[in-house]
């Protein structure tokens, strides 16, 4: 009988690598819009490393840790490989950093695709030269404990969004989006069409030719009163 709360699953069901790579060229915002705007991690989780030319795209290797503890995160680093995005939750605790320069350097050596944490980091300046995308809630010099318990490759909640092992994780300057692996083909088809339409709207907006009639139409339909006068007390 496996001990729930202190266990490691070494295998995941993975999406095709070409599916993961296909999402890299799309913005997290466009993907989020094609998912009902419900699958983006909250704004506390932000890019802490220098912006790269290409987006972060990889497959979730999940870690559930006790608040302020990174023992299981160290084990996850040992399991991780190229193309993995380590997603760690420590119940949103902010009092202890969850990783620093030594772990950053080892993650870069392992060629992981990125790291996403619902807590802080430290040694943030070390990220300038490592080329690894790291998303976290901030930084603090206080280090973590290494006691456990925790779990690896189980469903977690990070940034208020559910993440399952093997889900596709996409990140850019705006933040992080979680793409369920079983829904990925349909989402990819939708975002290809949506992105083309969105690009056309941007072009029209820059030239002032974008159709803004929908604003007044929406207000009218919702019963908003438009008064052609100034407000008086």
Residues linked to residue 114 through DSSP beta bridges, in sequence order: 85
204 Cβ contact partners less than 8 Å away, ≥ 6 residues apart: 210, 211
Q: How many CA atoms lie within 13 A of 147 on its CB side?
A: 7
pTM for this model (two decimals): 0.94
Q: Average pLDDT over the chain, rounded to whole?
A: 96
Given pLDDT bands bounded at 50, 70 and 90, which one contains residue 18? Answer: very high
Task: Encode pLDDT of 136-162 as tens digits.
Answer: 999 999 999 999 999 999 999 999 999
Task: Encode pLDDT of 204-224 as tens digits.
Answer: 999 999 999 999 999 999 999
Task: Encode pLDDT of 32-77 as tens digits.
Answer: 999 999 999 999 999 999 999 999 999 999 999 999 999 999 999 9
End-to-end CA distance of the chain: 72
């Amino acid at each position: 009988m496996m001990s729930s709360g202190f266990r490691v699953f070494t295998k995941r069901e993975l999406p095709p690598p070409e599916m993961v790579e296909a999402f890299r060229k799309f913005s997290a915002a466009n993907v989020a819009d094609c998912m009902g705007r419900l699958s983006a991690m909250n704004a506390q989780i932000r890019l802490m490393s220098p912006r790269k030319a290409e987006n972060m795209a990889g497959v979730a290797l999940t870690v559930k840790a006790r608040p302020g503890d990174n023992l299981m995160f160290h084990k996850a680093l040992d399991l991780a490989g190229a193309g993995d995005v380590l997603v760690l939750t420590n119940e949103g605790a902010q009092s202890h950093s969850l990783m620093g320069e030594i772990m950053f350097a080892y993650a870069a050596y392992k060629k992981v695709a990125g790291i996403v944490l619902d807590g802080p980091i430290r040694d943030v300046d070390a990220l300038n030269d490592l080329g690894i995308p790291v998303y976290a809630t901030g930084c603090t010099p206080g280090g973590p404990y290494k006691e456990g318990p925790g779990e690896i490759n189980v469903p977690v909640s990070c940034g208020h969004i559910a993440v399952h092992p093997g889900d596709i994780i996409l990140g850019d300057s705006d933040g992080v989006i979680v793409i369920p692996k079983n829904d990925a083909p349909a989402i990819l088809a939708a975002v290809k069409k949506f992105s083309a339409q969105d690009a056309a709207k941007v072009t029209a907006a820059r030239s002032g030719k974008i159709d803004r009639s929908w604003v007044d139409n929406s207000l009218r339909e919702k019963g908003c009163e438009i008064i052609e006068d100034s407000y008086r007390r």
